[in-house]
Amino acid sequence: MKIAVVGSGYVGLVAGACLAENGNEVICVDKDQAKIATLEAGKMPIYEPGLEEMVRRNTAEARLTFTTDLPSAVRASEIVFIAVGTPQGEDGAADLQHVLGVAHEIGKAINKFTVIVDKSTVPVGTAKKVHAAVAAETSVPFSVVSNPEFLKQGAAIEDFMKPDRVVIGCDDPKAGEIMRAVYAPFTRTGAPIMVMDTPSAELCKYAANAMLATRISFMNEIANVCERVGADAEAVRKAVGSDRRIGPSFLFPGIGYGGSCFPKDVKAMLKSAADEGYDFQILHAVEAVNQLQKSRLVEKMEAHFGDMRGRTIALWGLAFKPRTDDMREAPAITIIEKLLAMGVTVRAYDPEATETARRVFGDRITYCEHSYDALAGADGLAVVTEWNEFREPDFKKMKQFMKSPVVFDGRNIYSPDQMRGLGFQYFSIGR
């Protein structure tokens, strides 16, 4: 099939590359000429495992091309995906100006029946707005489909190529069949293609992320109770997760969720509910718990050290999760800002997010090239992101670098007994 993907950010680039990987002819469109030039040179504007190799392979095979010329890309395609950003507005709602702006441009360009696909994360009612925007510019027949993405950063290629499910919202059987054909190669192992009305499809992404965020905040609350009563959150997590009605996923206590999806989608869900006169009380609590949880490591540091002024704290991990360079809403930001406000010197290391962090903190913290470099003269280490390389470090070497062997583990990646046996003062979450 001939497909255009408008927006070459995280979702659009992954979708375009994966669609090309299955033999489609895909044109990725972006108004940012510098980004297009970067992609044409085989370089990635984001870090996502496996993406660079896939883009280069499909570009070499001429299945994947990049352009700033939206009208030509639309006219050359049967299906046009809209994958531009929907940033959070001041009121918490998703800002649709980019989505609707692209819809108007598509309407001006189409010259034959075209399926227009909302791939951006959008609130209920967006498909109708996109339809109206396109219809205002053309009398050419078209259909608008909602097709929410369910990509995890760090595993996006796998999620797209082998999805748990594909959700398609449409009221046009012809468009529905075209979308089934697009996703048939990705669902040969039996993953369902769920065709439904557009409001239900639009709600699916927000509902899924709100549920996952709820599980995280719930388990963090349980972990906080565990600390007060002397229980082990890890034992509780395993017992609760073994219940088939609940399952083990997203029940790991830590220092809160971040990233481009959960915080924004929880806020958007709250705003959408409020617009309909409904007070979504559980999600208000989820959001409040998450904000408090991001400060838990700093609270533990204060309880241990007392006066923090003049201390040096090493941070392992800056990205909101492993296998990405994304720091949007990352717990590291809250932790570092609080430490800096206390007069603490921060030495940080992350395998991929250093340049992102420079844009956030400038020269207010020290960026280290290697994990052990961050430990030099440190009064304590905060483990903030659970990168694999942090799981089995040389503990003897750590002690040699550090001023005092104190570890604040925000991701519970070490064994308390092992750490104490090695001579560390060790603080984790809920244990």
**CATH, range 294-427:** 3.40.50.720
pLDDT at site 252:
95
Is the pLDDT confidence value at 200 over 80? Answer: yes
Mean pLDDT of the chain: 96
The catalytic residue among 18, 28, 261, 368 is 261
pLDDT tens-digit series, residues 121-133: 898 999 999 999 9
Quickly name the fold that domain 205-292 has.
N-(1-d-carboxylethyl)-l-norvaline Dehydrogenase; domain 2 (1.10.1040)
Burial of 67: CB neighbours in 10 Å, binned 0-12, 13-18, 19+: middle
Assess whether 28 carries a catalytic annotation: no
Least confident of 20-34, 42-56, 82-96, 320-334: 82-96
Helices marked H in 369-412 — which ranges? 395-401
pLDDT at site 358:
97
pLDDT category at 256 given cuts 50, 70, 90 is: very high
Enumerate the domain spans of the chain. 2-196, 205-292, 294-427
Burial of 318: CB neighbours in 10 Å, binned 0-12, 13-18, 19+: buried
User: 332 vs 251, 296, 297, 369, CA distance in Å?
Assistant: 20, 12, 10, 18
Q: Which CATH number fits domain 2-196: 3.40.630.10, 3.60.21.10, 3.40.50.720, 1.10.3720.10?
A: 3.40.50.720
pLDDT at site 301:
98
Of 5, 18, 6, residue with least CA distance to 54: 18
Alpha carbon of residue 103 to chain centroid: 25
Same fold, 2-196 and 294-427: yes
pLDDT tens-digit series, residues 345-401: 999 999 999 999 999 999 999 999 999 999 999 999 999 999 999 999 999 999 999
pLDDT tens-digit series, residues 315-337: 999 999 999 999 999 999 999 99
